[in-house]
A and B are shown apart, each in its own frame.
Chain A
Amino acid sequence: MADRSDTAAGSGVRSEPWARRLRAGAIVAGVALLAAPPVLPGYALTLLTQILIYAIFAMSLDLLLGYTGLASLGHAAYFGLGAYAVGILSTGHQASFWTCLGAALLLATAVAAVFGLVAIRALGVYFLMITLALGMVVWGLAFRWVSLTMGDNGIAGIARPSLVPGLSLSDPLRFYYLALAAFVLSFAILLRLVRSPFGLSLRGIRETERRMRALGYDVWLHKYLAFVLSGAFAGLAGALWAYYDGFVSPVEVHLVTSVETLLMVAVGGPGTLVGPVVGAAVLVLSKNLLSLYTKRWLLVLGLVYIGVIVLAPKGIVGALRGERR
């Protein structure tokens, strides 16, 4: 299963029947995502918007986890940086949508570029530890730098943006279409990327770093680029999230958020682009629906983590192909 989708997204050298089916499925999903929302109830639209934003976040992580074989425990840092850039600029400085978006992307990318220098040297479980630690640096700033971030209280009152003066996205349906556009664009860019020679090189690194070096690849550079790109897309997702939720708090940067995103990717199937989208949908839906019906949804969520590993270890094993201790 994982192998098939691997080669599908990876080589793009041929077109098999199942590849056509995949394309057909994507078209159907695309049409549904475009046409259905105007007739959907408000709550469903909300969930759909959340799913799209988290899907971008999860895909960005999968570029590292599924394609490159790097499990980051601090990916929420870049999501949070994007969200805080929007929160701070749009409330404190009334900056426009495009200014905020540009700042969010720039900040997330720049921090990923600096953190990558520290993190990429580490291997295996040390990479987990180092990304966890770097994530904590950002969380610590969000939590304590109260004059800038409002600390634990978070930044509230982030208004929905206007794309251009006069075209406000305060209507949930319009905002949904913004999220959809961002998602489709991200998916298209990432798809092109994973099918490129560079994308294949990432999968090669995931499988056997040693051979990649012998073949002439600067493994460090390829990992580093994947790390920075991944941070940039996470920043985009974070910026959208800030506008969507109207609120940013240290929770967005927390370790729990990082791990939750890992779970999304693991559930959906690492090393594919559709997998993280499915995983994001599953987790967003179950979290929201669970919290509607039970106060003990955290307990259930915990059991979901345990259940996924116990019942579907193959999904996890896939992500760990080529990983050595």
Chain B
Amino acid sequence: MSGAPALSVSGLSRSFGGLTAVRNVALDVQPGERRALIGPNGAGKTTLFNIIAGEIPPSEGRVTLFGRDVTRLAPHRRTALGLARTFQVNTLFPSLTVLENLLLAVHGVERTRLHLHRPLAAYGDLCDRARSVLDRVGLSGGEERTVRTLSHGEQRQLEVGMALASSPRLLLLDEPMAGLSRAEAQRFTSLLQELDPAMSLLMIEHDMDVVFGVAERITVLHHGQVVADGTRDEVRRSPLVAEIYLGTG
């Protein structure tokens, strides 16, 4: 069990109508590995994430998480196994406060999510955990603010904080830096570099500084297919990648 990869997908395909978004993709992420998933827009990266997270079923193929076949498992059950994800577009709870957002994230992987007789404040340790995430993503002091009053950058920070709050074993980040300023992106890169080394990370990102700064291995997706897979140096040197991605990107 301990030898099993955190994530393993094989033979994965998904088509919508006549369009094939993901074609025969195989991909492994080992425990503790940092991997980036890159490719031009429309390459099928987010579709792949949605299949891994269980939001859409694959047309063909298999997904395993931590050695367990989850191909037919509902999204929330995958989260319970230790998966967490962020969304390309901020997917928060706009009229709740920052702390309430994080409390939802913390309770989501605990049995307490179904408790209906005690007030939230009675769960002191879970509140502390939510507040500690607040500090890590640089939102301390803003816990009582309503999420819709946050700036885009702050919402982006919370977006990642929500995923970290459940202390996942595998984290999927979908363009975490989208819309961030240079300075914000740099701060965020160091946050990602300081994450628990035992945690596995799979990240879609267009910002190459971030990709090369965080990921050890890179998978390149093009037209729904894996066209390159290797260490960052291998991928950096690959002429194919330069041609289809870096060249056109």
A and B touch in the complex (CB under 8 A): yes
Q: A196-236 vs B: 1/0 string, CB under 8 Å?
A: 11111101100110111111111101100100000000000
Interface residues of B in 139-174 (CB under 8 A from A): 144, 146, 162, 166
Q: Shortest beta-carbon distance, A322 to chain B, in Å? A: 8
Complex contacts, B25 vs chain A, CB 8 Å: none
Q: Cα distance A212–B46 when bound, in Å?
A: 18
In the complex with contacts A215-B79, A216-B166, A217-B108, A196-B117 CB distance below 8 A: yes
Complex contacts, B118 vs chain A, CB 8 Å: 192, 196-197
Interface residues of B in 60-115 (CB under 8 A from A): 74-76, 79-80, 84-85, 87, 91-97, 99-100, 103-105, 107-109, 112-115
Could you pull out 24 A-B pairs where Cβ atoms are within 8 angstroms? Answer: A2-B95, A7-B96, A11-B100, A11-B103, A13-B127, A192-B116, A196-B118, A197-B114, A197-B118, A200-B103, A203-B100, A204-B104, A207-B94, A208-B91, A208-B93, A210-B55, A213-B79, A215-B76, A215-B108, A215-B109, A216-B79, A216-B166, A219-B76, A321-B95
B19 within 8 A of A: no
Q: Cα distance A204–B118 when bound, in Å?
A: 18
CB of B96 within 8 A of CB of A213, answer no
In the complex with contacts A14-B144, A201-B113, A211-B92 CB distance below 8 A: yes
Chain A residues with a Cβ closer than 8 Å to the other chain, count: 37
Chain B residues with a Cβ closer than 8 Å to the other chain, count: 41
A10 within 8 A of B: yes
CB of A11 within 8 A of CB of B121, answer yes
Q: Cα distance A10–B119 when bound, in Å?
A: 9
Q: Cα distance A192–B120 when bound, in Å?
A: 10
- Residues of B that sit less than 8 Å from A by CB: 53, 55, 74-76, 79-80, 84-85, 87, 91-97, 99-100, 103-105, 107-109, 112-121, 123, 127, 144, 146, 162, 166
A12 within 8 A of B: yes
Q: A79-123 vs B: 1/0 string, CB under 8 Å?
A: 000000000000000000000000000000000000000000000
Complex contacts, A221 vs chain B, CB 8 Å: 114
Q: Cα distance A6–B107 when bound, in Å?
A: 19
Q: Shortest beta-carbon distance, B206 to chain A, in Å? A: 22
- Residues of A that sit less than 8 Å from B by CB: 2-3, 6-7, 10-14, 192-193, 195-201, 203-204, 207-208, 210-219, 221-222, 225, 321-322
With A11-B97, A321-B95 known, 11 other A-B pairs at CB within 8 A are: A3-B146, A6-B95, A10-B120, A11-B99, A11-B121, A197-B123, A198-B116, A213-B55, A214-B79, A216-B108, A219-B76
